[in-house]
Each structure stands twice: as structure tokens, then as C-alpha cells.
Amino acid sequence: MSAALQPLDQLKSGEINTVWESLSSHVLDTAKSTLGLRVRKHEDWFDDNDGVLTDAIDKHRRLLKQHSRTHQSGSIKELRYSYLEIRKLARQAKDKWWQEKARQMQWLADTNQLGEFYAEVRHLLGTSTMVKVPLNSTSSEALFKSREEILERWAEHFNTLLNVDHFVT
């Protein structure tokens, strides 16, 4: 870090913005080289096929820049073809990833590794958020928001729904 800050001694007469930009870039570069970047733990179909898709996207960007400079009709056709190719590659990559996940999960289910199977299901679905929706009372006068009131209202609803006397004549 001290070696990276040596050029700051020469910037004493410079503007404060220049000094700040230099200091912040040196601190950021040192932190990246020392600590590294945070690695995402969530896997998805895009991460596994990043190289193929990135190459296609880079090619599309080059064609887009070329078209914005020249405005030729031939470049429009190439640009459309590139766009369709990206969509096709993305669909294929996504389908392949999901099929592999399905095969893996089927194998887990077939070998009775249910703990790992449900862990994979939870991993794929992600965490779910429970949203409490307020309920009206039977007379629609009050709005129930607490868990206890909502449960009591559902119990009342199912009690009236399921406990109906049927008279056969």
C-alpha cells in the first residue's frame, strides 16, 4: 500500500479531486489484489455458459458500433442475425442447464437421497417470502392484520363452509 501511495507525494500541488481519485483508485486496487472479489455462491444457467454468451454479446456489440458508424443496410441484416443468434444460444444454454439439473435431481430422487434432493429444490427455487394479506371480517366491518386474527377468521370461514347441515327429504 505504501508503494502505491508514493505518487501522492508528487500531487501535493494538484487539485483535491485528482488526489482523491488517485487515492481511491490505489486503495481499491490494493483491496482487490489483497482480498479479491466476492464470489457469488448462487449458480444459474447464465454463469455456467458465460463464455459462449459473452463472446456472442461482444460480437453483437461490435456489429452495433459498426452499424452506428456506417448506417449500411447490410449491417442491419448482420445485426438482426446476431441478435437472433444470441437469443438462440441463450435458449439452448438455458434448456441444457435445466435438463442437466433435472437429470441430477432425478438421480437424487432415484437413489433416495431426499435430503440433497430437497436442498437442490430449495436452492433452485430460492427463498420465499411470506406476505400477510389482511382479511375482512364476515360483516366486512373490521380488517384483520395479526396472525391470530387471520387464523381465527379462516377457522370461522371453513367452519361455516364445511359444517353445513344437509337435510335429505
pLDDT in tens, 7-66: 655 555 566 778 788 888 888 888 888 887 776 666 677 777 788 888 999 999 998 888
Confirm whether pTM is higher than 0.85: no
69, pLDDT greater than 70 = yes
> What is the residue extent of each domain of the chain?
2-35, 45-125, 130-163
pLDDT in tens, 126-157: 766 666 778 888 888 888 888 898 889 989 98
108, pLDDT greater than 60 = yes
Q: What backbone phi and psi angles, to 5 degrees, belong to 136?
A: -80, 155
